[in-house]
Every structure is written in structure tokens, then in C-alpha cells.
Amino acid sequence: MPASVGWVWLVIVLPFLGFLVNGTLSFVRPDAKRVVSAVGVGVLALSFVVALVVTGGVVAHPPHGHPYVLTLWSWMPAGSLQIDAALQVDQLSTVMMLVVTGISTLIHIFSIGYMREDPGYPRYFAYLNLFVFFMLILVLGASFPVMFVGWEGVGLCSYLLIGFWYENKPFADAGKKAFIMNRIGDFGFLVAMFMIFHATGSLSFVTVFEEAPQLFAVGGTTITLITLALFMGCTGKSAQIPLFTWLPDAMAGPTPVSALIHAATMVTAGVYLVARANVLFAMAPVSSLVVAATGAATALFAATIAVKQWDIKKVLAYSTISQLGYMFMGVGVGAYAAGIFHLTTHAFFKALLFLGSGSVIHALHHAFHATHRHDDAQDMRNMGGLRRYMPWTAALMWIATLAIAGVPGFSGFFSKDEILAMTFARGQEAGVFYVLWIVGAVAALLTAFYMTRMMLYTFHGPTRTGEEEERHLHEAPWVMTGPLLFLGIGSVVAGVLNLPAVLPGSGWLHHFLEPVTEGSTAYLPEFHLASATEWALLGLATLIAAAGILGAWNFLKPALLQPASLATPESGLQRILLRKWYVDEIYDALVIRPIMWLSERTFWKVVDVGVIDGVLVNGSAKTARAVGWIGSRLQSGRVATYVFFFVLGSILVLRALLR
């Protein structure tokens, strides 16, 4: 192990120190905002620098076969269960570590401006530092249980930050919803861990992945169940069908939180898990197909909802769900590097979009605040024409929009195209992959459409904020636009990490990640596309992006839009889309209400009141009282009665003795 890799523990410890300091300050000196900012951002920047050093070590001396494992201490030595608190540094965790620390640093800087006037400023930075700490444990853990610690920890921080403004009941409820839906997925993760331990006798990544080919039959029941249970965990954490409804509600948290946790890092944990366990998933073709199909379905489904949302953050939330669907499609078809590539580029442009929307909301909020209006600062119908007031934000968000829409040259084009191309390549093997490819392509068209729609309604056309408010609209401070600039650069150039095969210098990330994914190559068909086919797919992707953007540009008329308070309610399909296909209502009717009914009618009224209270608690008291009553009847106070029982007893004893 190179000496620089040995410093990887510092990457994790620094954010935790930041959490301790800021957490203490939130109790002791809540007003010390300068110290809090310096500590909160400083530890992250240092952590990023250490991460770069570690990455340098990995690039200079890439681990082959065995990843670098840094064992810190023995965590659970219990018989045959030996779990170490160990960190694993290989190509995959390095990429994730850089994405997490890099994006986190920028978002922390942005938060200084966004949260400046919030009374919970130190608490916010403490939670954010804690989140980064857990996220780094998640991506650097060397075994399933260590990863699970991070997995649960980021869920906790997500809950804390969604409900950051907990005085507002819907916000606190959104936090609970996210936590509970994640628990459903975590159950799958736990079951998968139990099954893995039962089958392999170990939980560390190195052992499990190296022994899996000998222990499991390819496509066997055990491996299929294990991977499906793992994927159940992914659907919860990464907001896939059926457990995706928490993510739109999670927009209740501060916008930088949405950017960091619910777009760039935490929600991608599921993709990371599948890529990490690529050997297991490659050995279970059925599970992989489930992953890809769920991803494709989610990509399309969420994209349709995003088309008709008015809340700017809801558009981005459904867009995130949709893009996560693409990532799962990638790792599902076995293109693990492509999934991680899209994860990386998405982290840049989606963080940029969220932070940009944060700037917009920030500006509108201030304008409404200045004129004492109580309109929704997140509703796009109350925006419009903001490019005149916020040119930097508008320009940078357009870059991110072009990236996510898949315009050639921008990062999203390459990453999305690679996933679609890989899916298309698998079509030679089974026709179902062509279906997935078509679904993905339609979702790409919708993506370009709804993103352009969002930009049109927010930044173009007439300003609908009201004349009084217009005077208070202004660009965000540099501390907020600065991080956007870096993310904008990333959104443009991140594509060079993994260019398509037909271009020179192609597939760098793919080759970099090969030591991690090579275990799975034996079980996957070789992806091969003719050069002409690849060019055709690239051209088609370009056409799709252009069609989506130009379609929205020509079809939508921001000039005709009414402010939210004056708008007429939608009808028909538009209404269904606005109400998100009524998924929340369906879940309410199919899951929540039956459970509530069952709880009330059975568990409360029958089991609790009837059995536990009635039979057990009151029943035992009644029995004791009845026995006591019988005993007290014997105490008649009459000598003759006592003598009778005495004689009776004597006779019985004698009879027993003389028998």
C-alpha cells in the first residue's frame, strides 16, 4: 500500500471533527457564524485535499487484484463472524470519494450565502459535516456492515436535514416519510447481508466477491435472492420504483441539502452498491434485468411527472429520480463504469441545477419578504424573465440544462449516451433490451423537454413576480455564484473522463475502473457495437436532445403563463401529471390505510385492548381476586368449619400415608 493511501482515514475523520466543533458551537455560541463557516468549509476543503493525495497514490500505484484495505480495528469478533472496521481504497471508492468531497466542498461554500440569515446556522453545518462523514464511510467501507453504518448514517442526516425547519409540520412529516421509506429498503439490505453471511461465512467485500464464483451457481436461486434483496435497499435509498415518493417530499429541506444529499451523493449510494457488488449482480442475470428494467421504468415515469410540475425544486427532484433510473439501467445491463460515469457527471450538473434553483428561490424569497407578500417562492408561475436580474445563475443553469438534456459536447451527452449504447448493444442478446433502450430514449426526449420548460418559465418571458418585487430581485452574492461556476466547468468537461469508443482517447474511466469490474466480465457478454452503429446512436441522441429542447422552445409560451394565485386549475392528463399519477394517493389507499385499519381494528381494539389488556392484565387480576374470594369464604370464623377441614385434611393425609 502506498504511504499516501494510508492517510485515507483522515478524509473521514476531518468532517467528523467539523461536526463535533459545529455541533458544540450550535449549543454554546449559535451566533459565531464566521467560526462555523470556517470550520464547516475548512474541514471539507482539507478532506478534499487529502482525498486528492490518496487518489494520487492510487493512480500512481493502482491496486491490481486486491484493493488496498486499511484495517483500523476489530469491530465485531464473534465466533465465525469477524468484522473489522476497515476502509477499502480502490478505483471505485476513489472516484466516489472525490465526487463526495469535491461536490460537498462547493455546496458547503454555497450554504454560507444561502443559510446566512438562518438562526439554525451552526446546527445546519453540523448536520452537513456529519452527512459527509457518513457518506465517506459508505463509499470507503471495506465490508457490507461498515457500508451499512454509512448507509444508515446518511439516512439519519437526510432525515435531520429534510426536517431542518421542523417547526413547519409538513417539513417534519417529509423527513419522517423519507426515513420510513428508507427503512423499508434497509430491510432488504439487512436480509441480503444475512444471506451473504449464511452462504459465504464472511461479509468483507474482498472475501465475498472473490469466493462468490466458487460458492454460487450462475443464475442460481441464492444469488438471485441476495441481489434482489440488495436492490431492494437500493430502491429505498436511491428513490426508484416503488420507493421513490419520498424524494420529491424531501425538497422540504434547505436547497443546498437537496443538491448535496438528494441529488449528488446520498441517492447515488444504491448505484454505487450495485457497482460495488458487480460480481454478484453479474452472476444473477435475472436480478440485473430487474435492476435495468426498474431503472428504465423509473426514468420514464419520473420524467413524465417532471413535465407538469410547477415547483422548480419538484421538477429537479423528479429529474433526479429519472436520472438515477438511467444509472440503474447502466449498472443493470452490466455497464458498471457507464453507471458510475453518469453518477459523476450527474453530480456536477444536478448539483449545479439545484444550487441555481436555490439562488432563484433565495432571490424571490427576499423580494417577497421585502414587500411582505406570502406567495410561493418556488412556484415557476411566480417567476419568469429572471435572466435579466440573475445573468450568471441563468447562464450557468443553461449549461447544466444542456448537459442533462444531452447536447453534444456537454458531459451528460456522453454519459447518457454510453448507458443507452450499452443497453442497445445487449439487444443482440435479448430483445427486451431494445425495449429498455426505447424507454430510455423516450425518457431522454422528455428530459430535454422538461428541463427547457423549467428554464423557459424561470428565466425567460415576462417577469411575473409583480412590479414592486422586481426592484428587489438581484443576483446572488459571489459566495453562491462561485461554486456554481466550478460546477458549470465540471458539467461541461466531465465528459472527457469517458469518451465514446469512436472518439480518440476514449473510455478512460472505463479502463480506470476495470480492476473493480473485471470479476464480472466473465459472466457478461462482450459489449460490441460497430463503429457505424455507434455513430448512428450518437446522432440519434443528438436529435433527441434537439427535438426536446426545440419542441419546448416552440411549443411552450411563457408569455401566456399566469401567476400561481391567478392560474386556472389543470384538467385531464395535465392534472394527472401534476398530481404525480396519484402515486401517493394509491400508496395511501393500498398500503397506509389498510395498515392503519389493521392496526386500529385488529392490533389496537382486539390484540391490545382485548387480549393484552383484557385477558392478560385484567384477567390475571380477576383470577387473583376470585381465588382470594374463595380463600376468604373459608375464613368463616366458625370453629366447626375449621375443625371439619382439619379432620378432612387429617383423613386425607392418613389415607395417603397408609396406602
Partner 1 sequence: MLLGPSLTVSLILFSIGVAGVLIRRNAIIVFMCIELMLNAVNLSFIALAQQLGREGQVIVFFVMAVAAAEATVGLAIMIAIYRHKNSLNVTELNLLRG
Chain residues binding partner 1 by CB under 8 A are 631-640, 643-644, 647
Distances from the Cα of 299 to the Cα of 96, 138, 293, 448, 455, angstroms: 22, 25, 10, 13, 20
- Smallest distance, partner 1 to C-beta of residue 625, A: 14
**Could you report how far apart the first and last alpha carbons of the chain are, in Å?**
86
Q: In whole angstroms, how close is the CB of 655 to partner 1 at the nearest point?
A: 16
Output the smallest distance, CB 619 to partner 1, in A: 24
Q: How far is the CB of 659 from partner 1 (least distance, A)?
A: 19
Cα distance between residue 156 and residue 154, in whole Å: 5
Which is closer to partner 1, CB of 430 or CB of 643?
Answer: 643
CB of 656 to partner 1, least distance (A): 19
β partners of residue 76: 83
Compute the chain's Rg from CA coordinates: 30
Please give the DSSP secondary-structure letter assigned to residue 165. S
Quick count: other Cβ atoms within 10 Å of Cβ 40?
29
What secondary structure letter does DSSP report for 605? I
CB of 631 to partner 1, least distance (A): 7
Residues 316, 357 contacting (CB under 8 angstroms): yes
Cα(384)–Cα(424) distance, rounded to whole angstroms?
Answer: 39
Nearest distance from C-beta of residue 640 to partner 1, angstroms: 6
Q: Which is nearer to partner 1, 572 or 631 (CB)?
A: 631
Q: 271 vs 191, 225, 279, 306, 343, CA distance in Å?
A: 19, 18, 14, 22, 8
Taking the least distance from each CB to partner 1, the nearer of 119 and 628 is 628
Q: Give whichever of 372 and 633 is closer to partner 1, judged by the CB atom.
A: 633
Q: Which is nearer to partner 1, 80 or 632 (CB)?
A: 632
The tally of CA atoms less than 13 A away on the side-chain side of residue 249 is 23
Cβ 650 to partner 1 shortest distance, Å = 10
Q: How far is the CB of 637 from partner 1 (least distance, A)?
A: 3
Least separation in angstroms between residue 611's CB and partner 1 is 33
Q: Is 68 helix (H, G, I), strand (E, B) or coil?
A: strand
Calculate the alpha carbon distances from 492 to 345, 396, 404 in Å: 9, 10, 10
Angular region, 527: left φ>0, alpha ψ -120 to 50, beta rest:
beta
Largest CA distance in the chain: 115
Shorter beta-carbon distance to partner 1: residue 611 or 648: 648
Cell of 502: 469512436
Closest CB to partner 1 among residues 550, 624: 624
Specify the residue, 619 or 649, whose C-beta has the smaller distance to partner 1: 649
Residue showing cell 449549461: 399
Nearer to partner 1, 596 or 651 (CB): 651
Peptide bond just before 170 cis, omega within 30 deg: no
Only one residue has cell 411563457, namely: 558
Of 462 and 628, nearer to partner 1 (C-beta) is 628
Give CA separation, 273 vs 296, 498, 646, in Å.
18, 21, 79
